Structure 1
Amino acid sequence: MHKDLSKTFTIGVELPLDNDWTREGQAKRLRQHKPFGVPDMSKHKERIMLADQLGFKVAWVRDVPLYDPDFGDAAQIYESFSYLGYLSACTNNILLGTAAIVLPLRQPWIVKKAAATINELSNNRLILGVASGDRPIEYPLFNVDFDSRSKLFRDSLDILKDKEDSKLNEGQHLLPEFKNIPIYVAGLAQQTPDWVGEHMDGWLAYPGTAEDHQHRVNLWRSVAGSKPYVSFIHLDLVDDPDAPIVRHHFGVQTGVKGLVAELQRMKQAGVNHIGLHFRRNTQPIEDSLKQIARDVLPHFQQ
């Protein structure tokens, strides 16, 4: 399974494949008595299988340990590694990415075993995105000092990269083996750009315009060379293929022609991969996935 995202420009999806941030989505949420930011996962299996069949490159899941109403975002609800184990059995080709596991809140040896398990069960399809975390309210529950997350992140990465294997007793092994798993970082994880460029295999950058990305890509290339640069677009794909681009927070509302133009700008800025986020999408998710596969993917993915 080809996991090097630096070789060409590709397009993926970010879960949940739900449009709960739209007016209709909010009305449905209220009928279901759910808090804001908690998506409806009832069709997640059918939608991820469809994304896989249509040729999207990566399915990204986030790591949100606690639902906090002040943040108002439960991501895809399910715990990341457990969910990816399930998704690995539902899909055949789409890569499975975490964006991103909060390392300071997890026991790093278990992270290593969980990631290796997902990679083996999925036939080598895992991209392990990791982060230092940015929600201070989570840390006390896990008995972790928020201000220590920079060092905890580095210590955890040492374990993932086999630098602490000397702590294993003679004959001990962590199985399955952690191998051929690229490790990407979300943001800078409280580290310097030089450190991130040297130690990480790819960068998960926050959403922005092509101009935003061009500046960030230049920084990334200066410290990391050709390693993959990945970001996301919060998309509202409308019926009219000629609809102009209207920008909103972290993304765009547009038709397929505008989406192609936006992705071309991302590619020209040096972005290697874009994950599409559909929670603002007013059309049915299935319709948008099929339309993008038909009218957008052929421009970028052979």
Structure 2
Amino acid sequence: MDSALDKLKQGGFSVGLELPLDNDWTMAGQAANRASARVPGEPDMRRHAELAKLADRLGYRALWVRDVPLYDPAFGDAAQVFEAFTYLGYLAGVTQEILLGTAAVVLPLREPVLTLKSAASVDQLSGGRLLLGVASGDRPVEYPVFGRDFDTRGAAFREQVAMVHDWGAAALPPGVALLPRPAQMRVPLLVAGLAQQTPEWVGAHMDGCLAYPGMPHDHQRRAAAWRAVAGPDKPYISFFHLDLAEDPDAPMRYHRFGGRVGRKGLLLELEALQAAGVQHMGLHLRQNQRPVAEAMQEIAEFVLPRFHGPAQPLAA
């Protein structure tokens, strides 16, 4: 059976989506937020299952969730609201093919053995579709709440990565097992940033890189640096905050973390990112001014076939 990482890399370049599938960062979305009981930066999740199923049927390669344990008004972002592993377990039950990734679980905040059990549960429930992105965390306010030390998170991260590699065997008493085992022979372990480690360490211990958003020339430099320490086979992955214009010929207008562009320009941008060394790009639609489902369907019809092969008709 191909691993989730093998499926992510099929064809040399693939496109996924970062959750939540809401455009709450637009002016209209912010107005709707203010008119609701939601806090600023909390997306509207009422259609989340419907849109996740649509992404699966349209042929997007992966859905990515972030690990934001606490809502902090200073950051103003609740991510996709739901706890990451719980949510992926739910998504495993309502989707069939799409890969399920964390971008990224903050390992030092979590109890290590339960993290392994949660990850294995998602991998089993999804039939081996988990991509386990991990990080050391960058929000100091969270650490005291969880009784963890922010300054030593780098050492805690290394210890938990070692547990992932042997799936807790060294930490368990003799004869004690951690069940379930993952469906995959090895759950792919992807790192967000450097996680307080050296580039050489992450290149040796991780199966892929989750990189900060950037322009093609940024990714060309970063991807080359990743491959220098990780070799040619470990994928370089990033994300793009997309506002898909209605005019298919609308030129790229870059904004922070992404840009506004028509579908023809989006195709050119993704081709440039592929040439720069990116192997998977997760599209983030919270700034998309058009309805999210409409943008998803246009991308699936006109952009995904360039990278994923011919579009598949939707089931009735």
Between 175-184 and 279-288, report the one with greater CA deviation: 175-184
Superposed structure 1 runs of 4+ greater than 4 Å apart: none
Question: Match for residue 217 of structure 2?
Answer: 211
AA at the equivalent of 2:113: W
AA at the equivalent of 1:187: G
Question: Match for residue 206 of structure 2?
Answer: 200
Distance across 2 between alignment mates of 1:163 and 1:6 = 24
Distance across 2 between alignment mates of 1:96 and 1:254 = 27
Question: Is 1:246 matched with 2:253?
Answer: yes
Picking from 287, 291, 298, the partner of 2:298 is: 291
CA contact (8 A) 2:113 2:168 kept: no
Distance across 1 between alignment mates of 2:208 and 2:3 = 15
Unaligned stretches of 5+ residues in structure 2:
310-316
CA contact (8 A) 2:163 2:171 kept: no
Deviation at 1:163, TM superposition (A): 7.2
CA contact (8 A) 2:168 2:178 kept: no
CA contact (8 A) 1:109 1:160 kept: no
Distance across 1 between alignment mates of 2:238 and 2:168 = 31
Question: Is 1:281 matched with 2:297?
Answer: no
SS in 1 for 2:141: helix
Where do residues 88-237 of structure 1 align in structure 2 (5 Å cutoff)? 88-162=92-166, 165-178=169-182, 179-226=185-232, 227-237=234-244
Distance across 2 between alignment mates of 1:54 and 1:6 = 18
| CA offsets 1:205-242 (integer angstroms, 9 cap, x no match) | 01000011001001001001120100000000010000
Question: Is 1:30 matched with 2:34?
Answer: yes
Question: Match for residue 83 of structure 1?
Answer: 87
Unaligned stretches of 5+ residues in structure 1:
none
Deviation at 1:167, TM superposition (A): 3.2
SS in 2 for 1:64: coil
SS in 1 for 2:131: strand
Deviation at 1:171, TM superposition (A): 1.8
CA contact (8 A) 2:17 2:282 kept: yes
Identical residues among aligned pairs (%): 55
AA at the equivalent of 2:256: H
Distance across 2 between alignment mates of 1:235 and 1:163 = 37
Deviation at 1:9, TM superposition (A): 0.1
CA contact (8 A) 2:242 2:287 kept: yes
AA at the equivalent of 1:280: Q
What value does the CA root-mean-square deviation take over the aligned residues?
1.1
SS in 2 for 1:161: helix
AA at the equivalent of 1:116: A
TM-score normalised to structure 2 length: 0.94
Aligned length: 302
Deviation at 1:34, TM superposition (A): 2.0
Question: Is 1:258 matched with 2:265?
Answer: yes
Deviation at 1:6, TM superposition (A): 3.8
TM-score normalised to structure 1 length: 0.98
CA contact (8 A) 1:124 1:180 kept: no
CA contact (8 A) 1:203 1:228 kept: yes
